[in-house]
Chain A
Amino acid sequence: MSKMILNRRKDRIFSVVGLIATFTGLIILLFFIGDILKDGLSRIDWNFLTGLPSRRPEKAGIFTAMMGTIWVLFLTAAIAFPIGVGAGVYLEEYSKKDRLSKILEINISNLAGVPSIIYGLLGLEIFARVLKLGPSVLAGSLTLALLILPIIIVSTRESVKAVPQSIKDASYAMGASKWQTIWYQVLPASMGGVLTGVILALSRAVGEAAPLIVVGALAYVPFAPKTPMDDFSILPIQIFNWISRPQHGFIINAAAAIIILLTITFMMNGIAIYLRNRWQKKIQW
């Protein structure tokens, strides 16, 4: 067989393998989602969404867990966004590029890979115990904020780095100070990438159970949080708790709760994609 025909064969084989690999993951995911929908979709109704936890599966609802998730989500965002974006901008624009900053950069990337339960232990000791915040929404949010901070910092740096030097040059040449250039040019231009990174980091935080269990989020909380100092539960923990129960009704509940959690996650990813597309249209280098 001639070389050319062999190469063309390899080409086709490679593209077929790639296709199979792509679709395998997709099909498994669709299978899983289909299975969950089959089990849980019918369980979702207004009572389920507004109901409190109960020992009887027909009465149990996810209101407290969902409110806990939403509370934690917003509080984590409020903490992690300014700190993460600020640190990212500082590291990229202000700090001198010497050996110390290189070490810092490596360390931050490493932190992004630390298992989330370690953050849970850290949060338990520092926030819940030393700062005496107890097993509160605030302690949980601080813990999750620490968890996603490295991701936000790295993605902010990448977005800021992508702003062309020519724009900064033009701004400086017009007499703008460094801070004005960052505030009026760099941040607006990089905001698409920054927001995408923040939202993706948050959508990861939304699904974390282990660190919050360690900090002390409970599975049976009969009320939704009203202040950041309240006890709380979250969807992943509720799901985990229900799955461990023997009654079949709780398995259905768990499936329904998973659908809600997935919906929240997909919606956040959808918003991230939408924002990224809109920003890319505005800023065509």
Chain B
Amino acid sequence: MIHTTEVMDIQKETDQEKNVMEEFDGENKSDINKLITRNVDSFYGDLHALKDVSMDFPVNSVTAFIGPSGCGKSTFLRLFNRMNDYIEGFRMEGEILLDNVDIYNERINIEQLRKDVGMVFQKPNPFPKSIFENVAYGLRIQGENNKTFLQDRVEHSLKQVALWDEVRDDLKKNALSLSGGQQQRVCIARTLAVEPKVILMDEPTSALDPISTSRIENLIFELREEYTIVIVTHNLQQAGRISDYTAFFYLGELIEQGRTHDIFTNPKHKRTENYITGRFG
């Protein structure tokens, strides 16, 4: 497939302008990759959770992580916004670059990183505050207090997640009084409100009913045009529906990665094929 890349997202080191997105072939194309990981190993104390993972994430695409439980997908995902830092005994080796900047560098501003890389969790976790305050939270903690600005941003974000019409009359309502699917959309809206570059989603629909799931899948499909999305999912059909690229993990190793269509129709490794055809899960 041929896309026109967004030149604004490309960093200074490129010396050629690319007008077309090339076929993903695993090489380091730093000018069109939002995220790059090289030889990443991670450890929980002595437990070697991720083994030598290297992969790239093209800008404005959806990449799905699939694989059985406990194989490191969520651990890998949480490396991108450094949420693993809070875990005692956690250690990371290797390189992770966002826009060609090493995010594990000591001088990185972690708060800024987390604005650039947003996260949506498996179980919807809106704050016990009003819908408005939920979506405005990211802006408030940056010091933004201008009422008009906040109102505009909140409205824009809620429109992006197709929730605006449902809640516009009562933004002061407690977010916890919404349904599960609506709560998850509020969580996505609050992430969008700070204009991230990357959105990480850890099984975002596994706790939701089928109708909410399909609404959020449509949302992810649309969001792809403006953001780079990485999604962990246990639902192979979901991965097939909404992702451009898929990476299969098994016991901490990246077994195979590539275009979703190729992975699902023509997997190169036996293990991948076994997982996809359901021989193990």
Contact = CB atoms under 8 A, between A and B. Distances in A.
Interface in B119-156: 119, 121, 123, 125-129, 137-138, 140-142
A146 B71 CA distance: 52
B83 A189 contact: no
B111 to A, nearest CB: 4
Contacts of B194: 174-175
Contacts of A282: 128, 174
A167 B138 contact: no
A107 interface: no
B137 A174 contact: yes
A172 B128 contact: no
A129 to B, nearest CB: 47
A179 B186 CA distance: 24
Interface residues of A, number: 20
Contacts of A185: 127
Given A184-B141, A282-B174, A172 B127 contact: no
A173 interface: yes
Interface in B163-195: 174, 176, 187, 190-191, 194
Contacts of B141: 174-177, 180, 184
Contact of A174 (B129, B176, B190): B190
Interface in B73-120: 81, 83, 86, 110-115, 118-119
Interface string A263-285: 00000000000000000001110
Interface of B: 81, 83, 86, 110-115, 118-119, 121, 123, 125-129, 137-138, 140-142, 174, 176, 187, 190-191, 194
Given A169-B83, A175-B112, 20 more contacts: A164-B125, A167-B128, A170-B127, A173-B81, A173-B119, A174-B118, A174-B137, A174-B191, A174-B194, A175-B115, A175-B138, A175-B141, A175-B194, A176-B111, A180-B141, A184-B137, A185-B127, A188-B128, A188-B129, A282-B174
